[in-house]
Amino acid sequence: MDYKELFISAFQALRSNFMRTFLTMLGIIIGISSVILIFSIGQGAVAFVTNELSSFGTNFFQINPGSSALASLTGGAETITTQDVDAIRRNQSFTNIQEVGAFVTSTLTVSANEIDKTLLIYGMSPEISDMLKPNMVQGEFYSEESNLEAQRVVVIGAKAAETFFGKDANVIGEKIKIGNKTYRIVGVARSSSVLFGSFFDNAIFIPFNTARNEIPGGVHIREVDISVKNVNLINDTIAQVTAFLRDRHNLKEKDQNDFIVASATDAISTIQTITNMLTLVIVAISAISLVVGGVGVMNIMLVSVTERTKEIGLLKSIGALERDILLQFLIEAAVMSGLGGILGILVGIGGAFLVSILFGIPFIVNPVAILIAFGVSMMVGIIFGIYPARRAAKLSPIDALRYE
Amino acid sequence: MGSGEAYVAINGISLIIGEGQFVSIMGPSGSGKSTLMHILGALDTVTTGTYLLKGKNITSYTQDELAKIRNKDIGFVFQSFNLLPRTSVFKNVERPMIYAGIKPQERKERVMHALELVGIADKVNNLSNQLSGGQIQRVAIARALIMNPAIILADEPTGNLDSTTSHEIMTLLHDLHEKGSTVAVITHDEKIASFAHRKIQILDGKITKDEGTGF
């Protein structure tokens, strides 16, 4: 039997039951579109994060206290001291090191303009601003001199400034109270990164040494950031600094590091790995809905075979071979799920485009993913179509003709 | 039979239908005439005995081999559900030739010729659900003719028709016989049976009467 005729009759059969066909396809459409959508968003997210992190440059690495990522995140570990930072700064043998910055953090009540707010306070050495490269909306970042003299000056995040003083107010020289001490605002900063903006722009930055003197818990370093002159030698520098710190902390050879070192490149690749893994996991989960869609196809094909028993009997009486009947129903199932796949791809791409606009992440559509999605949708139709089609093909012509 | 154990529907029937005959097979329901038709139509095989079609013993053919026989040598006209639903007259008549692997151009010519023969060429593009009962039977007869079969088997072809239309359809079958086709009509209706030139009566699985030459 020629394939053109088979496809024509498959389309005819599907069209004559339009609503049912569409509802069955919906399962496939949802499955395929969610796979395409999530995959596209995932890839967009990876591209976004990579971009964000690269915007700070890749020529630095960070040291966090604690022997595990968890300890360093919760801030419980206190294994890196100011003395460590000073020792790294003073060590002349680290020829590749450009700058060493460090910060402490604390959450405190900040008051200004008769408004009280609990905000994140960074006690930050000025070198960090060279690495984070914030946009100064007003004024300037506090100087090295302010840090050395432990002056009570602050740089305030753009959103925090708005909270206290209103939009577009000139806040340079304004007074702000942290705890019970009064500070003078010298600058308003906005993060150059969308990703970090949400907390950076709501934070308050005071000089590192000021924090050490005046902020409770201000002596415990949360992070040390070290920039290098030659990024190609960054791993050597990391090794040198690691050995140096281990020596200072009197760690024996078998002891683990009591701090965590990661380069910006490491961080990027870690986040890429995590995001990719998450994407794959969610894609795998949404692929389950494809199986559900496939079961829907099988179900409706079984109904169709039963409904068309007499038709099958008629076709057999005029000479249809088992293979002809099998192919007819198989092609119907494949056309149904294939069309569902195409619609699903279109919906998925449309959705991904909307998400990319709404969330400002890059719009990435992977042609390979689309081909795979289409192939999978066809496969789903064929796999789940086989059983009903075989049932149709195996019907005895007499029983089929007699069926009422 | 379709399922379960075989039971004896017809027994000891010895029947030869010659080329070009117009035969009616008559009997009340349960007489075994449907079973006889299934065997004649290669829809079923005999449990004992043999069936020769055009001199070929097809008794032990497989389902697919029987399907090919039905395609080339048998033209069925059923009482009801003769046409594919929501499918054009053309596509319905064309279908056996698709299974036979005949080229589209030839299919088109033969469909038109067959439709002219049964007097319904003007309905070629109509859908099957847009036809009257008589028109449906004409299309079914056109389809039955299309492969030049050894025999046209009409199973109660007028069962759903009024008497005028029944007469037209039987006249059409009679005309086909005149032009050389072998036609067997299975019916329980004496009047329908009387169109045939050979009348076979079957009761309780046995032939009780066989009269006329068939020509």
B110 vs B13: which has the higher pLDDT: B110
The pLDDT assigned to B110 comes to 96
pLDDT digits (tens, 9 = 90+) for B49-81: 899 998 899 988 999 999 999 999 999 999 988
For residue B12, tell me if it sits in a domain.
Answer: no
**Cα–Cα distance between A297 and A28 in angstroms, integer?**
9
ipTM of the complex in this document = 0.92
Q: Residues 21..60 of B with a Cβ closer than 8 Å to A: which?
A: 38, 41, 43-44
Stretch B139-147: mean pLDDT? 95
The reply to whether residue B99 touches residue A321, judged by beta carbons under 8 angstroms, is yes
Stretch B126-144: mean pLDDT? 94
**Cα–Cα distance between B191 and A298 in angstroms, integer?**
48
- Chain B residues touching residue A317 (CB < 8 angstroms): 41, 43, 70, 74, 76, 78
- CA nearest neighbour of A400 among A315, A322, A330, A327: A315
Domains identified in chain B, total number: 1
For residue B7, tell me if it sits in a domain.
Answer: no
The pLDDT assigned to A101 comes to 92
Q: Which residues pair with B153 in a beta bridge?
A: B76, B184
Instruction: Name the residue among A5, A317, A323 with its Cβ closest to that of B98.
Output: A5
- Chain A residues touching residue B147 (CB < 8 angstroms): 319
Task: Flag whether pLDDT at B1 surpasses 50.
Answer: no
For residue B10, tell me if it sits in a domain.
Answer: no
pLDDT tens for each residue of chain A, 404 residues long: 578 888 888 888 888 889 999 999 999 999 999 989 988 988 888 888 888 777 777 888 989 888 776 665 665 677 888 889 999 999 989 999 999 999 988 888 899 888 998 998 999 998 888 888 888 989 999 999 999 999 999 999 999 999 899 888 898 999 999 988 899 999 999 988 776 777 788 999 999 999 888 887 666 788 899 999 988 899 899 999 999 999 999 998 888 888 888 887 887 888 888 888 888 888 888 788 888 899 999 999 999 999 999 999 999 999 999 999 999 999 999 999 999 999 999 999 999 999 999 988 889 888 988 998 899 899 999 999 999 999 999 999 999 988 87
Write the CATH number for B109.
Answer: 3.40.50.300
The reply to whether residue B70 touches residue A1, judged by beta carbons under 8 angstroms, is no
The reply to whether residue A316 touches residue B70, judged by beta carbons under 8 angstroms, is yes
The pLDDT assigned to B2 comes to 38
The pLDDT assigned to A58 comes to 81
Instruction: Name the residue among A9, A319, A402 with its Cβ closest to that of B70.
Output: A319
C-alpha torsion B99→B102→B104→B110, nearest 10: -100
Stretch B110-121: mean pLDDT? 94
pTM: 0.73
Kindly report the number of other CB atoms within 10 A of residue B77's CB atom.
27
Stretch B30-46: mean pLDDT? 88
Question: How would DSSP label each residue in A280-334?
Answer: HHHHHHHHHHHHHHHHHHHHHHHHHHHHTHHHHHHHHHTT--HHHHHHHHHHHHH
Substitution target from B80, B83, B95, B136 for chain A, most A beta carbons within 10 A: B95
For residue B3, tell me if it sits in a domain.
Answer: no
In this structure, is the dihedral angle defined by the CA atoms of residues B86, B87, B93 and B97, taken in order, positive or negative?
Answer: negative
Kindly list the distances between the CA atom of residue A218 and the CA atoms of A208, A212, A389, in Å, as whole numbers in the listed order.
8, 5, 73
Substitution target from B37, B70, B108 for chain A, most A beta carbons within 10 A: B70
Kindly list the distances between the CA atom of residue A191 and the CA atoms of A133, A250, B117, in Å, as whole numbers in the listed order.
8, 38, 87
Looking at chain B, which residue has its C-alpha nearest residue A325? B99
Kindly report the number of other CB atoms within 10 A of residue A143's CB atom.
14
On whether any CB of chain A is under 8 Å from the CB of B205, the answer is no
For residue B186, tell me if it sits in a domain.
Answer: yes
Instruction: Name the residue among A317, A323, A399 with its Cβ closest to that of B70.
Output: A317
The pLDDT assigned to A142 comes to 92
Containing domain of residue B133, as a range?
Answer: 22-211
Name residue B102's amino acid. I
And the tokens for B198?
A: 């050979």
- Chain A residues touching residue B153 (CB < 8 angstroms): none
Task: Flag whether pLDDT at B4 surpasses 60.
Answer: no
Looking at every residue in chain B, the average pLDDT score rounds to: 90
For residue B147, tell me if it sits in a domain.
Answer: yes
For residue B11, tell me if it sits in a domain.
Answer: no
Kindly list the distances between the CA atom of residue A244 and the CA atoms of A91, A237, A239, A250, B9, in Å, as whole numbers in the listed order.
10, 10, 8, 10, 101
For residue B151, tell me if it sits in a domain.
Answer: yes
- pLDDT category at B7 given cuts 50, 70, 90 is low
The reply to whether residue A318 touches residue B71, judged by beta carbons under 8 angstroms, is yes
Which residues from A are below 8 Å from B when comparing CB atoms? 1-2, 5, 9, 12, 16, 310-311, 314-324, 396-399, 401-402
